[in-house]
């Protein structure tokens, strides 16, 4: 029976960078996929210097998000309705519509209604650190955590909330330090800047973000969907230009960098005794 997966991401482009391969693979395998984007990405800078014309950054990024949806194979897309908060300490953090400043319960209630409507088997979000500490990434984790509690609570019920739903499996997407370290060293050896510039890193422990490999519970092979993942990233042209790290790397290193996507299972039963290779492993698909 086809499964249902729901991915929660802070900004347009995060879905393609973090989970684009799994999104494309899941759709190709016949599963139902939903992507939630929490903010409009209004604080994003025009990294590529593309001609925006008369469009605002918000309009540009909405158009790019629509293009990315097509590139990834057509997941159902939902806006949560908040404004990009910018980086830590920026004035945009205090904007009245910023995601960072949003009431946790109100934001979680918005997402919980969607969870009850979709009734997903799997939900994926950022981890508690926000992957690299961005306020909106941290908030996406907290809102997802609270939303799943509300969605499962039978006492949280009004006519527009829908029936209670407990999500069988909850994940956070992850980057294992050993893999990121290997990629950094390989790119530098090839004469290319790595994710952390062109200086060698002495050990995985010196990386500014990532998780220890033994925390990763699930590694999904997305090699056959690399083209879709890269097309999803390229669709966000204002943020990920042809000269960016994400798209400008040697072809022979592409699989080392992007051919798998890693996750940590936070809630629910693993699909077997060993590491999982599928987010839906062990899910029965019974939504009665």
| Half-sphere exposure at residue 37, Cβ-oriented, CA atoms within 13 angstroms | 26
Query: Element (H or E) spanning 67, and its range?
Result: helix 57-72
Tens-place pLDDT, residues 251-285: 777 676 778 999 999 999 999 888 899 999 999 76
pLDDT at 184: 77
Tokens of 37: 């984007």
Cα–Cα distance measured from residue 282 to residue 140, given in angstroms and rounded to the nearest whole number? 26
The tens digit of pLDDT for each residue in 213-246 reads: 889 999 999 999 999 999 999 999 998 877 776 7
4-175+215-267 CATH fold: Rossmann fold (3.40.50)
Per DSSP, the residues of 166-203 read: --SEEEEEE-BHHHHHHHHHHHHHTT--BTTBSS--S-
Rg (CA), the chain: 19
- Evaluate if residue 35 carries a pLDDT over 70: yes
Tokens 């540009």 correspond to what residue? 60
d(CA 252, CA 255): 7
Longest dimension (CA), the chain: 60
For the stretch 43-93, pLDDT in tens is 888 777 777 788 888 899 999 999 999 999 999 999 999 998 888 788 878
pTM: 0.93
CA distance 221 to 229: 12
Q: What is the mean pLDDT of residues 125-149?
A: 93
Residues of the chain with CATH 3.40.50.10320: 4-175+215-267
Of all residues in the chain, the percent with pLDDT exceeding 90 is 59
Q: What is the mean pLDDT of residues 12-24?
A: 97
What value does the mean pLDDT take over residues 132-137?
88
């Amino acid at each position: 029976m086809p499964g249902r997966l729901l991915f929660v991401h802070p900004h347009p482009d995060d879905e393609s960078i973090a989970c684009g391969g799994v999104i494309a693979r899941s759709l190709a395998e016949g599963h139902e996929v939903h992507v939630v984007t929490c903010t409009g990405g209004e604080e994003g800078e025009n990294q590529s210097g593309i001609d925006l014309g008369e469009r605002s950054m918000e309009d540009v990024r909405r158009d790019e998000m629509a293009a990315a949806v097509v590139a990834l194979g057509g997941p159902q897309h939902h806006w949560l309705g908040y404004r990009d908060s910018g980086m830590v300490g920026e004035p945009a953090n205090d904007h009245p519509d910023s995601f960072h400043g949003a009431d946790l319960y109100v934001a979680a209630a918005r997402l919980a209604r969607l969870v009850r409507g979709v009734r997903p088997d799997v939900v994926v979000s950022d981890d508690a650190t926000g992957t690299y500490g961005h306020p909106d990434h941290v908030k996406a984790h907290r809102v997802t955590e609270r939303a799943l509690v509300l969605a499962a609570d039978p006492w949280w019920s009004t006519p527009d909330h829908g029936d209670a739903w407990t999500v069988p499996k909850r994940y956070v997407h992850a980057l294992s330090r050993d893999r990121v370290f290997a990629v950094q060293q390989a790119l530098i050896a090839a004469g290319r800047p790595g994710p952390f510039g062109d200086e060698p890193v002495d050990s995985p422990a010196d990386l500014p973000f990532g998780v220890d490999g033994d925390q990763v519970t699930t590694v999904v092979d997305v090699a056959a969907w690399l083209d879709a993942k890269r097309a999803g990233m390229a669709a966000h042209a204002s943020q990920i230009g042809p000269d960016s790290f994400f798209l400008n790397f040697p072809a022979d290193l592409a699989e080392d960098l992007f051919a798998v996507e890693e996750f940590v299972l936070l809630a629910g039963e693993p699909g077997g005794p060993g590491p999982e290779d599928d987010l839906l492993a062990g899910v029965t698909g019974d939504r009665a």
